[in-house]
Amino acid sequence: MSDLLAKLYPEHMRTLRARADAALTRGGYDHLVIAAGVPRIEFLDDRPAPYVANPHFRYWLPVTKAPGSWLVHTPGAKPKLVYLQPRDYWHVVPEAPAGYWVEHFDIAIVHEARDALAHLPKALARCAIIGADNAALGDAKPNNPDAVLNYLHWQRSYKTDYELAMLRVASKLGVRAHRAAEAAFRAGKSEYDIHTAYLNAVHETENELPYGNIIALNQHAATLHYMDFNRAPPAHAESFLIDAGASFHGYGSDITRTYAAPHASEFQKLIDAVDAAQRGFVAKVKTGQSYPELHIHAHHVLAGILRDQDFIRLSPESAVETGVSSTFFPHGLGHLLGLQVHDVAGFQKDESGGTVARPPGHPYLRCTRTLEPRMVTTIEPGIYFIDLLLGELKNKPQARDVNWAKVDAFRRYGGIRIEDDVVCTEAEPENLTRDAFAAA
Ligand SMILES: [Mn+2]
C-alpha cells in the first residue's frame, strides 16, 4: 500500500501546490500558513478534548497526530514543515518524520510550541493563516481569508489519485468492521457488544474513527443519530442499523447497512427494495448530475416503494408534493466525503464562494452541487418509522392515505438506511463501498 501511496504522492503535491498558488493569488497573499492545531481544553477543567488535526494540514501530509506543528507554502519554494516534538513526559511525543512524504518538505524540528514562530514567514500580514482560533501563536493569528478558503475548499471536492487511493483503503477497513458487526448482530449481541466488535475489527479507537458509530437495534434505528449503545441485548432482535466508518491517514469512509432478523421477512422485503433503489441512485452519480435533483428523484422512488408495499395509498408525485415522503425519508440523500465526513463546499456555488440554496422543503440536504469527475459523495437513502414525524402526519389531511396498521407494525424495526461512498468519474461511477464488500 505505501508503495502505491509513494508513487501517487508527488502528483498530489504538484496539484496542491498549484491550488495553493492560485488561492494566494486570489486572496492577494504571499504565503499559505497552516496550523495543525492544538486540542481544546474542557471548560473549567484541564482535560483536553480529542485532538483532530486541521483538515488543511492533513490535506498536505498523512500526519494526523502532530499538534502544534505548522506548514508553510510559498509559491516557487519547497513547502516547509515546522514539526513540534515537545519536551514532554506526560504525553507521547510525535515520532520523527518518516515515510514517502518527508522528502517533499523542508523540515524544521522544534521542541517548544513557541519556537515554531521563528520558522514562520516574518511578514505575517502577507500570510493567509489557516487554522482554528486556539492555534494562534504570538502574532501568527489565523485569519482564514474567505477568498483563499473558498478556492481551496472548492478544489478539495476534486480528489487526486492519491486521495482516491486513501479513500479506497478507508472503505476496505470500514467494510471489514461492518462484517464483524453483522456477525455480532446475528449472534444476538447487544448494541454495546456490536460496537466493541466493530472497534476490534477496525483496529481504531473511537477518537480515531471519522465519526461516532451509530449502532441501533429495533426501534432505536428510528433515531437518526442513535448513539446510546444499550448494554443489554433486546429480548427480541428484529432489525439492526449500523452507520459507521473508518479512518486512513486522515481520510474517512461513511457506510450504513441495515439487516433484518431471519424471521422478519416483511422488513427484509422493504430493505431489499431500498437497496435496489439505492443502487439506482448510485448509478446516476455521473458528470453533470445535479445532486439536489437526484435527492428529489430519490423521494419519488422511495414514495413509490411505500405505495407498492402498501404503506401509503397516494401517488409518488402527491406524496412528495404534500411532504408525506419526508415523513419517511426526513434527511438528505448524502454529502461530499473526503478529509471530513461531511466534506467542505457542499453548497458552494463556484470557486469564489457563494451558496446554492437547498430546494424548498428539504432543510437537511447537505449537498447542492452538480457532480463532476473526482467528486466523492455518499448516497444514503432511508425509510424510517419515526414516532414524532408519524404523529405529525396523523394530524394532516394525508393521514387518510396512510395504511396505519402496517405503518404501526413496522415501528418495531425503526428504519432502514443504506449508504455507499461513490466516486464520480468520466464514465461509470466507482462504488467504493460495494467494491469493498465484494472483495471481502
Ligand atoms: Mn453519511
- pLDDT tens-digit series, residues 318-338: 999 999 999 999 999 999 999
Split at pLDDT 50, 70, 90, the class of 47 is very high
Cβ contacts of 113 within 8 Å, gap of 6 or more: 38, 68, 84, 86, 137
For ligand 1, the distance from its centroid to the CA atom of residue 378, given in whole angstroms, is: 6
For ligand 1, the distance from its centroid to the CA atom of residue 42, given in whole angstroms, is: 28
Residue whose entry in the numeric block shows the C-alpha cell 501511496? 5
Domains located in the chain, CATH noted? 2-156 (3.40.350.10), 161-439 (3.90.230.10)
Q: State pLDDT tens for residues 139-182.
A: 999 999 999 999 999 999 999 999 999 999 999 999 999 999 99
Whether 81 shows a pLDDT value over 90: the answer reads yes
pLDDT of residue 1: 80
pLDDT of residue 172: 98
In this prediction the pTM is: 0.97
- The share of the chain scoring above pLDDT 70, in percent, equals 100
Burial 76-105 (b: 16+ CB within 10 A, else e): eeebbbbbbbbeeeeeeebeebeebbeebb
Residue whose entry in the numeric block shows the C-alpha cell 494540514? 57
Please give the Cα distance from 221 to 191 (Å, whole number): 11
Q: Give the pLDDT mean for 205-218.
A: 97
pLDDT of residue 13: 98
pLDDT of residue 116: 98
Q: Average per-residue pLDDT in the chain?
A: 97
Whether 117 shows a pLDDT value over 90: the answer reads yes
For ligand 1, the distance from its centroid to the CA atom of residue 222, given in whole angstroms, is: 16
pLDDT of residue 8: 98
Residue 256: beta bridge partners?
243, 419
Q: Which grid cell sits at 77? A: 519554494
Q: Concatenated DSSP letters for 184-239?
A: HHHTT--HHHHHHHHHHHHT--TTTSSS--EEEEGGGGGSTT-----SSPPSS--E
Please give the Cα distance from 94 to 83 (Å, whole number): 9
Helix count (H) and strand count (E) of the chain? 12, 17
Please give the Cα distance from 331 to 383 (Å, whole number): 10
Q: Which grid cell sits at 151? A: 478556492
- The share of the chain scoring above pLDDT 90, in percent, equals 99
For ligand 1, the distance from its centroid to the CA atom of residue 109, given in whole angstroms, is: 38
Max CA separation in the chain (angstroms): 71
For ligand 1, the distance from its centroid to the CA atom of residue 335, given in whole angstroms, is: 7
For ligand 1, the distance from its centroid to the CA atom of residue 60, given in whole angstroms, is: 24
For ligand 1, the distance from its centroid to the CA atom of residue 100, given in whole angstroms, is: 31
Whether 2 shows a pLDDT value over 90: the answer reads no
Q: Give the pLDDT mean for 425-436.
A: 98
Q: Which grid cell sits at 420? A: 455507499
For ligand 1, the distance from its centroid to the CA atom of residue 214, given in whole angstroms, is: 11
For ligand 1, the distance from its centroid to the CA atom of residue 123, given in whole angstroms, is: 41
Rg (CA), the chain: 24
Whether 431 shows a pLDDT value over 90: the answer reads yes
pLDDT of residue 380: 98
For ligand 1, the distance from its centroid to the CA atom of residue 15, given in whole angstroms, is: 27
For ligand 1, the distance from its centroid to the CA atom of residue 417, given in whole angstroms, is: 10
Q: Give the pLDDT mean for 410-439.
A: 98
Q: Give the pLDDT mean for 339-357.
A: 97
